[in-house]
Chain A
Amino acid sequence: NAGVTQTPKFRVLKTGQSMTLLCAQDMNHEYMYWYRQDPGMGLRLIHYSVGEGTTAKGEVPDGYNVSRLKKQNFLLGLESAAPSQTSVYFCASSQGDRAYYGYTFGSGTRLTVV
C-alpha cells in the first residue's frame, strides 16, 4: 500500500543544472498534480494531468515541464534550475470525484538550488 511515492526526498542543485522529480502512484488514479510549498505562500499548483498523455498548466508553471507517459507516473522537470525554485515539492493524485474526499499526497521533495 505505497500510495504516492516521490523520489528523491532531498536534493541540492547548482544554478543552471537540470533534474527530474518522479512521482509514482499505485492506485490507478487518473488525476495527478504537482504543487510547490514555500513559506508564507501555502501550496501552489504547478502542473497537473487529467489522464495518461495529458498535462496542463497550473498557477505557477514557469520554469517547469511535466510528462505523463504512463498513467502511474508524473514527472516534473527543471531544465535550468534557479534559486527561486528552492522549495518543497508535493505530488498528489485523485480518482475523479473521489477528489471530493481529498487527495493522496506524497511525502514531498525538498529541493535547494544554490
Chain B
Amino acid sequence: AQTVTQSQPEMSVQEAETVTLSCTYDTSENNYYLFWYKQPPSRQMILVIRQEAYKQQNATENRFSVNFQKAAKSFSLKISDSQLGDTAMYFCASVNSGGSNYKLTFGKGTLLTVNP
C-alpha cells in the first residue's frame, strides 16, 4: 500500500518570497506518478504539478517546481515569488503505474497562507 506524508500542517510566507512544502511517500513499486494539488477556499481541487518517477528531471510549471529525490522518496514543492492567490491547502498525492484501478493516495495536506 502507498502512503503519503506531509509533515507540515500549516505554513506561512510573505508575498514575493519563496516557500517549500515537504512531502515524503512510500511505495514498493518502481514506477509511479506524484502530484501536488491546490485547494483554495473555493474547495476546487486544482492540479499544480506532476512528476513521473522514471524521469530524473524535476518538473516545473511557471512559479512552481519540485525537488524529486527518488532514493529518499521525497517530493517537495517550491513556490517562488509567492502571491496572495497561492493561499490554499496543498495536497501531495501518488499513484502507482501498471495497476488496474489508478487510485490516488493523498497526504493530509499543508495549509499555506501568503501574507501581504
A, B: real partners: yes
Interface string of B91-116 (1 = CB under 8 A from A): 10001010011111111110000000
Q: Is the CB of B101 within 8 A of A42?
A: no
Interface string of A63-104 (1 = CB under 8 A from B): 000000000000000000000000010101010110111110
Interface string of A39-71 (1 = CB under 8 A from B): 011111100101000001010000000000000
Q: Which residues in B have their C-beta under 8 angstroms from that of A92?
A: 45, 104
Query: A88 — nearest CB in chain B belongs to which residue?
Result: B43
Determine the main DSSP class of B at the interface with A.
loop
Residue B47 at the chain A interface, CB threshold 8 Å: yes
Q: How far is the CB of A67 from chain B (nearest CB, A)?
A: 18
Cα of A41 to Cα of B50 in the assembled complex, Å: 22
Interface residues of B (CB under 8 A from A): 4, 6, 9, 33, 35, 37, 42-45, 47, 50, 52, 91, 95, 97, 100-109
22 A-B contact pairs sorted by A residue (CB < 8 Å): A31-B101, A33-B104, A40-B108, A40-B109, A41-B108, A42-B6, A42-B91, A45-B103, A45-B104, A56-B101, A92-B104, A96-B102, A99-B95, A100-B52, A100-B95, A100-B102, A101-B50, A102-B35, A105-B45, A107-B43, A108-B43, A108-B44
